Amino acid sequence: MLQDLHSHTYYSFCGIDTPESVVEAAIQGGLHMIGISDHAHGVGEARYQHFKAPLQGVEVDYERTTRRYFDHLSLIKEKYAGQIEVLRGIEVATVKKHYAFPEKADISFFDYCLVEHLDFEETITEGDIFAFAKRCGCPTGIAHTDMFAFIASRGEDPLDYFTRMAQQGIFWEMNVNLDNVHRGYEHPYMLEFFESREQQEIVRKSGVRLSVGFDGHRVSDYKPNRIADYCTRIGEMGIKLMFE
């Protein structure tokens, strides 16, 4: 299966494209599945001006804004049914200083969520993805994180850790971004994984699933062939992708 589970639209403050544009780019690229995963703070706050300079006495209604986003993606999913499978996702930034996720914000109805900043000291997850995934209440992926380095920093065994992830249905993203928004940056952890047979064997043995995400912010920069290549390589390793 050729899948991209990490894409951004104008619901993210850093994105500009319509959901339709993102989906159509994936269709033209021959993908089987596209997940739209806009930032929770973009979806929830809705107005960039309020996000940057909150107005005193003005509260953000996350329940309404996240439902509105989800309902829009549901219409997109229906519109392109039969051409590509569209998953309704959301990406949760977890650093305390800027994008702290409201305790009562409900995202359990999404098809999946991506969690970022797990390895930051100031993350609201406190490094516990297992508890945070339960709090999210939907299939949870760890976005653009060097999990082998993170697990080592906690003094834990990688096989045991990935096995626990597999048992709880938590997946690990291979972020294969290569675009102008990220200045052509490639994640070292991703490159290392595709070169390391030792890491591949641990992941394969654990049963944890992977996802592939371009983390696209501009359709003009999108490289679906890159997604297809890495999805194929993972399949050849005997490792399962999420949702296949």
pLDDT, tens digit (0-9, with 9 covering 90-100), for 46-84: 555 445 555 554 456 788 899 999 999 999 999 999 999
| pLDDT score at 184 | 61
Examine residue 244 and state whether it is found in any structural domain, yes or no. Answer: no
Instruction: CATH number of the domain at 141, please.
Output: 3.20.20.140
| pLDDT score at 33 | 99
Domain interval for residue 107: 3-236
The structural domain count of the chain equals 1
| pLDDT score at 104 | 84
Q: Rounded distance, CA 114 to CA 92, Å?
A: 6
| pLDDT score at 18 | 97
| pLDDT score at 101 | 77
| pLDDT score at 42 | 85
| pLDDT score at 47 | 57
List the chain residues with pLDDT less than 70. 46-60, 98, 100, 180-184
Examine residue 241 and state whether it is found in any structural domain, yes or no. Answer: no
DSSP characters for 13-74? TT--S-HHHHHHHHHHTT-SEEEEEEEHHHHHH--HHHHHSPPTT----HHHHHHHHHHHHH
